[in-house]
């Protein structure tokens, strides 16, 4: 019996969209990838270039260009299309209104096509845009996911792996809240080899005398801008993050990933979208993991959610007139 093909549409044929598709192809994630771009010719070119990888991969992935109206039978639609920051901008909220307008242009025809799968959003400011896609689509919250702090958590692990000279995959922990200026590291839940980081530092003060956790958190937050100011975009890390989330959905892997999730009571928050760990499976978000934050961390989380909520309140009435903003 012929099995059902796993189909993914990537809306945005720029660096992030191409990086995501390239990661998926090389990791054998999905059977079909449809590239969609504002300029159809660019989507065609990206699809052709990507299709020429097949000789050198372990799994054949069909890659082609399409349109928003072709998304009806997709399992996942990944939205990477959005506005680009200009030199001097160092806050993702600066491009909110431009990206929000693009998100509406994209989401409405996709839903009209009959799409009934899972949205994954990477366009910045990702927490606000994920909330907006949820509002426009009318989908249940578990089927609208943002990349959120997945990439920040990866950056955190990489920084700590350099300090402790270990594999990043032996570090566990999360950056939480906004994928932006108000994010924070939940240090109370960072472990190395299963041992709490704070315990390690207490026991080995002489070994790590210069380790400053505030500095690590700052470098985690600023890593994206450090890349952007040097080469004008981020591509590979976020592309792999998108592929990682898509793989957990398509293979129903039940991985715990820090993603932008619509909160309805979790962490004491309502009607806001923020980066928190969640179990990702075949239907999207299976369950949001509520960490027991310290009092200080809870205050930081509430502040971060308020920054995101301010962005939602600023743009939602413009993009969806007569909407009720809570």
- Is 143 known to sit in a ligand binding site? no
Catalytic residue status for 179? yes
Does 158 belong to an annotated binding site? no
246 is in an annotated binding site: no
Does 150 count as an annotated binding residue?
A: no
The reply, when asked if residue 147 is annotated as ligand binding, is yes
- Confirm or deny that 11 is annotated as ligand binding: no
Query: Is 259 among the annotated ligand-binding positions?
Result: no
**Would the annotation count 12 as a binding residue?**
yes
Please name which of 186, 83, 82, 177 lies closest in space to residue 127, comparing C-alpha atoms. 177
Annotation-wise, does 15 bind a ligand? yes
Closest to 76 (Cα-Cα) out of 288, 281, 273, 289: 281
126 is in an annotated binding site: yes
User: 114: Cβ–Cβ under 8 A, 6 or more apart, which residues?
Assistant: 72, 73
- Determine whether the annotation assigns residue 127 to a binding site: yes
Q: Which of 179, 189, 199, 270 is catalytic?
A: 179
Residues 6+ apart with CB under 8 A from 155: 175, 219, 220, 223, 224, 237
> What SS3 state is found at 33?
strand
153 is in an annotated binding site: yes
> How many residues would you count in the chain?
326
- Going by C-alpha positions, the residue among 185, 119, 120, 118 that lies closest to residue 149 is 185
124 and 93 Cβ atoms separated by less than 8 Å? no
Q: Please, what is the angle between helix 96-112 and helix 126-137, to 10°? A: 30
Q: Would you say 123 is a known binding-site residue?
A: yes
| HSE-CB for 8 with a 13 A CA cutoff | 33
Q: Beta 62-65 vs 32-36: how paired, if at all? A: parallel
Half-sphere exposure of 221 (CA within 13 A, CB side): 19
322 is in an annotated binding site: no
Numbered residues of the known binding site for beta-D-fructose 1,6-bisphosphate: 157, 172
| Binding-site annotation: residue ranges for substrate | 92, 124-127, 152-155, 234
Binding annotation: 12-17, 42, 82-83, 92, 122-127, 147, 152-155, 157, 172, 234
Which residues are annotated binding-site positions for NAD(+)? Answer: 12-17, 42, 82-83, 122-124, 147
**Residue numbers annotated as active site:** 179
């Amino acid at each position: 019996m012929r099995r059902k093909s796993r189909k993914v549409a990537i809306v945005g044929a720029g660096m992030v969209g191409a990086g995501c598709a390239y990661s998926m192809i090389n990791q054998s994630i999905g059977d079909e990838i449809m590239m969609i771009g504002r300029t159809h010719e660019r989507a065609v070119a990206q699809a052709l270039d990507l299709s020429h990888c097949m000789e050198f991969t372990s799994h054949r992935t069909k890659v082609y260009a399409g349109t928003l109206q072709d998304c009806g039978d997709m399992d996942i639609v990944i939205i990477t299309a959005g506005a680009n920051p200009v030199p001097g901008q160092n806050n993702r909220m600066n491009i909110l209104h431009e990206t929000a307008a693009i998100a509406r242009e994209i989401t409405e025809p996709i839903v009209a096509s009959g799409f009934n799968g899972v949205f994954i959003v990477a366009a910045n400011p990702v927490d606000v845009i994920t909330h907006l896609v949820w509002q426009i689509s009318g989908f249940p919250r578990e089927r609208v996911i943002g990349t959120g702090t997945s990439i920040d958590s990866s950056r955190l692990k990489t920084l700590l792996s350099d300090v402790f000279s270990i594999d990043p995959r032996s570090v566990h922990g999360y950056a939480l809240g906004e994928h932006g200026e108000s994010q924070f590291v939940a240090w109370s839940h960072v472990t190395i080899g299963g041992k709490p980081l704070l315990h390690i530092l207490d026991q080995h003060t002489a070994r790590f005398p210069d380790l400053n956790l505030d500095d690590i958190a700052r470098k985690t937050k600023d890593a994206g801008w450090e890349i952007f100011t040097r080469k004008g975009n981020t591509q590979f890390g976020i592309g792999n993050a998108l592929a990682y989330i898509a793989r957990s959905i398509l293979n129903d892997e039940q991985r715990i990933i820090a993603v932008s999730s619509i909160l309805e009571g979790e962490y004491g928050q309502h009607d806001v979208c923020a980066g928190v760990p969640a179990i990702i499976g075949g239907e999207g978000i299976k369950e949001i993991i509520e960490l027991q934050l310290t009092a200080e961390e809870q205050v930081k989380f509430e502040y971060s959610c308020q920054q995101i909520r301010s962005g939602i309140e600023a743009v939602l009435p413009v993009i969806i007139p007569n909407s009720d903003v809570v």
